[in-house]
Amino acid sequence: MIYLDYSATTPVDARVLEAMTPYFTASFGNPSSVHRFGQGAEAAVESARETVARVLNCRADEIIFTSCGSESDNLAIRGAAYAMREKTGAKWILASRAEHPAVTKTLLHLEKYDGFLIEWLDVDDRGRVAPEVVSKAICDNTALVSVMHANNEIGTINPVRDIAEICRANQILFHTDAVQAAAYLPIDVQELGVDMMSLGAHKFYGPKGVGALYVRKGTPLVSHLTGGGQEFGLRAGTQNVPYIVGFAEALRLTHEEREGRIAHVKPLRDKIIGTVLEAIPDSRLTGDMESRLPQHASFVFKDVDGNLLLTLLDAAGFACSSGSACKTGNPEPSDVMNAIGLSRDWGLGSLRVTLGIGTTAEHVESFLSVLPSLVEKARHLK
C-alpha cells in the first residue's frame, strides 16, 4: 500500500516520538503542581513554548497550546468575535468561501446561536482571495477577518501578508488557519503580520490531538474552555505534556529541514501534475500552479465519481483523497469545488494526491502507471 495522502495526516517522526516518550512515564507530573514532579512537567511545556515561539518569531506568552488545529480555529474565531463585540459592538465577520470546516462551521454556529453576521468572501477560479476583495468588504462594523494561509483541498496559497496589512490599516483583527501551510511555508508571524494563526502538529509529522494558536499580545480574546488558569487563562485543562513536547519537536524539525523536504517532494509533485494533465482526457488541475503547496497535486476529472475513483485506487494499493478527509461519503461537490466555480459534472470528480518524506520516485511511477486506466474505469462505471 502506497500512502499519497500526507495532507490528511502524516506519520509521527521517530525523533518526535523519542522526545515525547519520557513524558508519559518518568516525567508524568502535572505542570500546575508545586512539587518537583510538577516543576519538571512545567519546564517541558515552557521549553516547548519557547521552541515554537522561536520558529514563529514571537514571544513565548503569545503561544496557546490546544488539542488540535480545529480547536485553535474555534478559539481564535469565537474568542475574538465575543471579545470584539463586547469591546466595540462590532458583529460582522469576513471569511473566504474556501475555508476548512473548522472555520466555516464555527462561523455558521456564531451566526445561528450568537447573532453574528458573516460575509463570505469570493475566491477566484484558483481558490485565491484577492486582497481587494477584503478591503472592499471591510466596514466600521467588522470584528474579524479569517482567511486561510494554504488550502487543504487544492493547495492554493493565499496572499496572507497583503490581507493582514489591509486589516491592520483598518484596525481589524486578522486570523489565518495555517494548519496546512506550516508543513512547508515559513510561518514568521511578524513577516506575515497576522494577529492570530492556527497550527496542528499531525500535518507536519507530529502527533494527532495537539495544536497551537498564536495570539499577538494585546489581541482581545475570550476563553472558550473555562476552568483552571492554564495557558494564560485562555484554555483551561491540564496540559497534554508529551503531545506539547511532540508538537514543538515536530515544528522545530520542520523548520530546520524545510528546504530539503521541499526539494524532495516538489519534482515528484510536478511529475504527477504534468503526466496527469497530459495522459488523462478531460482532466484539470484545481488550484493555482504557481502559488501552491509543494507537496500538493489536485485535479478534477469530468464525469467521474471521485469516491468511486478513491475506492478503485485503494484496491490497487494507493491511498489518496478527494479533497478534505472530512468530506468522504458526501455525494455533493465540496464547498471549495463550488467556490472555485466548478459545475457538478467536474466538481464531483476531484482527486487529491499529496506527498511527503516517505514518497519515492518509484511510488510516483507506479501511481502514474495505473491512474489513467482507473479514471477510465470510473467513467464507465458511473
Ligand X SMILES: *Cc1c(COP(=O)(O)O)cnc(C)c1O
Min dist CB 141 to ligand X, Å, is 27
Which one, 40 or 69, has the nearer CB to ligand X? 69
User: Bridge-partner residues for 95, per DSSP?
Assistant: 120, 146
Residues within the interface to ligand X (CB under 6 A):
68-70, 100, 102, 148, 152, 177, 179-180, 200, 202-203, 211
| Annotation says 167 is catalytic | no
The dihedral sign for the CA sequence 125, 130, 132, 138: positive
Q: Which of 68, 167, 320, 326 is catalytic?
A: 326
Grid cell of 8 as nine digits = 490528511
Q: Cα–Cα distances in Å, from 221 out to 77, 224, 291, 332, 344? A: 9, 9, 32, 36, 40
Closest residue to ligand X using C-beta atoms: 69
CB of 52 or CB of 378, closer to ligand X: 52
Q: Is 287 buried (19+), middle (13-18) or exposed (0-12) by CB count in 10 A?
A: buried
Considering beta carbons, is residue 152 or 239 the nearer one to ligand X? 152
Quick one: 148 or 248, whose CB is closer to ligand X?
148
User: Minimum distance from CB of 153 to ligand X (Å)?
Assistant: 9
Residue 90 is placed in which grid cell? 462590532
Q: Report the half-sphere exposure of 333 (CA within 13 A, side-chain side).
A: 22
Judged by CB, which is closer to ligand X: 316, or 326?
326
283-285: strand order across its sheet = 283-285, 296-301, 350-354
What is the nearest approach in angstroms of ligand X to the Cβ of residue 111?
19
d(CA 44, CA 27): 9
d(C-alpha 62, C-alpha 250), whole Å? 19
Q: Which is nearer to ligand X, 283 or 350 (CB)?
A: 350
Within a 10 A sphere around the Cβ of 219, how many other Cβ atoms?
A: 18
Minimum distance between the CB of residue 315 and ligand X, rounded to whole angstroms?
26
State which H helix or E strand residue 251 sits in. helix 241-256
User: Rounded CA gap, 171 and 161, in Å?
Assistant: 15
Least distance (Å) between residue 282 CB and ligand X: 28
Task: Collapse the DSSP code of 300 into the 3-class scheme (helix H, G, I; strand E, B; otherwise coil) and give the result.
Answer: strand
CB of 148 to ligand X, least distance (A): 6
Residues taking part in catalysis: 326
